[in-house]
Amino acid sequence: MAKTEYHVVRLRWISALVLMAALFDGILGGHHNGSNVTYDGRSLIINGEHKLLFSGSIHYPRSTPETWPSLIAKAKAGGIDVIQTYVFWNIHEPQQGTYDFSGGRDIVKFLKEVQAQGLYACLRIGPFIEAEWSYGGLPFWLHDIPGIVYRSDNEPFKLHMQNFTTKIVNMMKSEGLYASQGGPIILSQIENEYSMVEASFHEKGPPYVKWAANMAVSLQTGVPWTMCKQDDAPDPVINACNGLECGETFVGPNSPNKPSIWTENWTSNYQVYGDEPYIRSAENIAFHVALFIAAKNGAFVNYYMYHGGTNFGRSTAEYVITGYYDQAPLDEYGLTREPKWSHLKELHAAVKLCTKPLLYGTKSNISLGQLQNAIMFKTESGECAAAFMVNRGAEDVSVLFQEVTYELPSSSISILPDCKTVAFNTKRISVQHNTRTMKTVQTFDSSEKWQEFKELIPSFDETTFRESKLLEQTYVTKDSSDYLWYTMRFQHDSPDSQQTLEVGSRAHVVHAFVNGVYAGSAHGAKNEQNFSLNNNITLRHGTNNISLLSVMVGLPDSGAYLESRVLGLLSVKIGGKDYSAQPWGYKVGLSGENSQIFSGSGSNDTQWSKLDKSSQPLTWYKTQFDAPPGDDPIALNLGFMGKGAVWVNGWGIGRYWVSFLTGKGEPSQKWYHVPRSFLKPTGNRLVIFEEETGNPVGITLDVVSITKICGQVSESHYPLVASWMGEKNQSASSRRPKVRLSCPTNKNISSILFASFGTPSGDCQSYATGTCHSPSSRAVAEQLCLGKAKCSIPILNHKFGGDPCPHITKTLLVDAQCT
């Protein structure tokens, strides 16, 4: 940072900060009864006041009611104004006309908690939502409605879509949850990314869009409606952007009277089995948010997800792992993921300091270089009131703006709330990093701790539903189970007992059994919809039974004509002969499923056996454990298992597929979240269904916590935005950048693992002392931090006994342990 920029902090800047802080408080104030919500070309307008809003997606069924208050509070503390959620049709109307809004489905309770904490809500009704949720949120009973074509100008679908949408809207009205009634809901969404499939429906697409918009508006909620990724959203519905870079890709509102809204700013991405997690940096997210606000007049930005949570039970879409958006600002367990959470909090505070110029000022754009520009917001008198300096280049540069020289890091945006002083830069992270650890608190390493039940392998004679062809899987299961048995019998009179079994499938997994003996497995992948099993088998002379277990790992959640999707087995050949048109017997689900072996009564009625030393496919396992002390989240480490599902006290924890490895040879997910609200103090029943040959004695119960925190700040970094406001009466020299460290609740800094003031190499993930290093670095850090829940270490030479390397920009890196 140039000295002319850093040290000249005028009283005018301090005064502006105080005024803007007051404005900030007003913007985040509580709701008023009967808020009138409208919009214009600049923003949403609530009670006549333009609003610049940051929103975070938290899906109520992906967490538990016991955690909703904490998650919402952490979002609010991170500078979030709005909580956004989908409505999940298939959990609310699992059977036609039968509704369920209990427990984790209690959307009213969720929204009332949002309101109780002084936040707004955005309700994305859909009711098709995609969301990596099984069947895109549609209830499977729609599949059997005669003549139905989902998401098109089709009367059967429109009837049921309107019925459910009306049901939800009327429920919200009856509970007074729309802002027009004094509730938190300021925005709703109909449909979801329809433009992605609209062309596939030809002449049935555009009329459906108009109908959906008109239907939604006719419900008279008193708040605006949006359609995301629908550039031609009919008036008065607002077209909104989804994606990573809406500051660059959004074509803008389709009317000058509509605001720019970003409904999905992906903080990471969903993960499928076989994939590594997608890591999106805090710097990249902040850059594109700032660009959207400045370049596109963005007035509403939603982070998808702010907290992803857990796909409990069978709720995931095909191949999607059980953990959802674990890399979000709040991870799967609800812990803050740093530096993402704090860096975005800083961004929100910096942007809010510019609220009045952004919403009421006149925008202009000036060039600062080939790949650099400044977006200025001026007052009515033409004076610059706020500026966003943008560097799209890959190199750090010095730019001249308003006759002052500024250092502008590569691929970054600097925010100047008074057009003079940089309050925030999207690339310069002044907040701490943290490390999540899993600590084993209980093992299950003794075979005496386990009992098992071997799943029964049905033969053709044991089935009652039969057809002389291979049936589509969901036609038979109605999505009541992931599992469908295809069984057949045939006569083998050839002396050659060795034959080849070939199975073509459009399910996700197939397990083959010949005369009750395991004969091999095969599976597909997200990008490999069709797959085949080709194994040598041994037949006996005479009658042979073939039993094929076809397995789904979630239903598809996207694409046109979802109701016509063909899933399950496609062909079966033995020794080259096609048996696809032979008589087949079908059995839906597993015997353990049908007896609810995972429930208390089902488990008690099961004849469990001692654990067999040799693991066999399709085996149920049972044990018990006590709840660990404390309130840290807990997880099961299933690293020694293969593929299956888990239940704790009858609650479906989710599917696991540890044997499906990434390109790096690691499972996509190894730890599986067990919410503490599912537990009793003692005697918790753990039931696992293992499809492969995983070994349950390797399972551990782990406590999840933040145990390490690290800060890396240089002299060129900016102090926290909040610190400028908090230290407004102090001198400019005291507002130097600092390393700030803060342990989680009930933990203190117990040791300094590394400290270097000078030119340390690396970052908080991997570091070393550089060519310049103050020998007093560790002592200073220990003096200021040991035994404290939080501490700050100013980057000042005299704190470290003098300047260790004059004329060189110095950095302080401190890594600490929390216990």
Which residues are annotated as catalytic?
193, 264
| CA–CA distance, 532 with 505 (Å, rounded to integer) | 6
DSSP codes of every residue in 27-68: HTPPP-TT--EEE-SS-EEETTEEE-EEEEEE-GGGS-TTTH
| CA–CA distance, 386 with 358 (Å, rounded to integer) | 8
| Assigned token pair, 95 | 């059977």
Upstream peptide bond of 127 is cis (omega within 30 degrees of 0): yes
Upstream peptide bond of 234 is cis (omega within 30 degrees of 0): no
Residue type, 772: C
Residue type, 142: L
| CA–CA distance, 688 with 144 (Å, rounded to integer) | 32
State the Cα angle at 594 between 593 and 600, rounded to 5°.
70
Q: Contacts by 367-371 with C-beta closer than 8 Å and gap 24+?
A: 368/399, 368/400, 368/401, 368/408, 369/393, 369/397, 369/399
| CA–CA distance, 472 with 478 (Å, rounded to integer) | 10
Which residues, in sequence order, are bridge partners of residue 353? none
Question: Which DSSP category does 593 fall into?
Answer: H
DSSP codes of every residue in 221-235: -SS-EEEET-TTPPT
On whether the CB atoms of residues 100 and 94 are closer than 8 A, the answer is yes
Q: Specify the residue for token string 């913007």.
A: 27
Q: How far is CA 271 from CA 28, 132, 308, 309, 394, in A?
A: 34, 9, 11, 13, 29
778: exposed, middle or buried (Cβ count in 10 Å: 0-12, 13-18, 19+):
middle
b/e code 501-519 from CB counts within 10 Å (16+ = b): bbbbbbbbbbbbbbbeeeb
